[in-house]
Amino acid sequence: SLLDMILYYESTTYLDISDNGSMGTSSWRALAHLIKQSVCLSRLDACNVCLVDYPVQSLSKALLTSRLQVLHLNNVQLSGSSLFTLCALKTNRALLELHLSSNQLNSYQDAMQLGDLLRYNSTLQTLELSDNVLGDALEELCDGLSRQTKGLKVLILKNNQITERGMNHLAKTLLQPGLKILEVLDLGDNHLGNEGIQVIREPLMVNSSLLHLGLAQSNITCEAVALAEFLAESRLIQRLDLHQNRVKLGGLMALSLALRINCSLSHLGDEFLSETQKRLQAEITQRCKANASRL
């Protein structure tokens, strides 16, 4: 009854039905009807519910012709056949943001479905996949990303058990000359280590679109030198997040020197600094502020 009322008055732009685990078949049917018919509704949050069988089928069909622009489906048990059903979104031409965190998405079947989605959908601009288990089998996902020539601008892969092996696939994608639209890449809370940063150093230097790179809590120590080389070469990067990394003094000095050359960086997460490195911290912060004022 509530969903029918929302459709009747056509004034709702943002609907949050999260945490309603007792919704039955009739409720999901009404929601699907609302999604298909509403002109005003632009964002839907349906998190922390069980999105399997009839619910995901009805939602998927409704999304084929909906006008929704933002969809949050966090912690809804989407892994496997449910994700396959949802990926009918590859023909959707309205959705701009898709958030799928905490769904236990795995590194084989699910990564393949997501790659397929990116191959055929050129409208989606933000894809959030944080807090899943995609791991290092990113080949299919990265292949789909490499086909993006006018769509995806934000890719969030935080906390997905990715190591330096997974960076090999991503490095090849960043080297693709056609990938000129990806602006935000967040790889934080993964086990990249110094080896992973070394793998993507050169691709980052070649890439001509990235504005924000997230590497918080990625086990980076000495390879901040490699990131410093990237900063010295980049004319675009605006944010580099290095929170909760134990960067050693040599890497910190390299970052400080790089910022004497770089004129675009306006934010550098600096919680990794120790008390003995405060002078370099002050210099780095001052240069970031100077870049921000120029921008």
In a domain, 181, yes or no: yes
In a domain, 28, yes or no: no
> Does 179 have pLDDT greater than 90?
no
Q: CB–CB of 290/265 below 8 Å?
A: no
Structural domain boundaries, residue 282: 14-23+42-293
Q: CB–CB of 161/168 below 8 Å?
A: no
Report the predicted TM-score, pTM, of the whole model to 2 decimal places.
0.90
Least confident of 26-35, 207-216, 219-228, 280-289: 280-289
Q: Return the higher-pLDDT residue of 281 and 120.
A: 120
In a domain, 53, yes or no: yes
In a domain, 34, yes or no: no
**CA 100 – CA 87 distance, rounded (Å):** 12
Using the CB atoms, write b or e for 43-56: b if 16+ within 10 Å.
bbbbbebebbeebb
Taking CA atoms, 203 is separated from 141, 144, 229, in Å, by: 17, 18, 12
What pLDDT, in 10s, does the model give residues 130-157?
A: 999 999 989 999 999 998 888 899 999 9
In a domain, 29, yes or no: no
Q: 274: domain CATH number?
A: 3.80.10.10
In a domain, 218, yes or no: yes
What pLDDT, in 10s, does the model give residues 54-95?
A: 999 999 999 999 999 999 999 999 999 999 999 989 999 999
What pLDDT, in 10s, does the model give residues 184-240?
A: 999 999 999 999 999 999 999 888 889 999 999 999 887 678 898 999 988 899 999
In a domain, 200, yes or no: yes
What pLDDT is recorded for position 276? 40
**CA 72 – CA 199 distance, rounded (Å):** 32
Quote the number of domains for the chain: 1
In a domain, 168, yes or no: yes
What pLDDT is recorded for position 277? 52
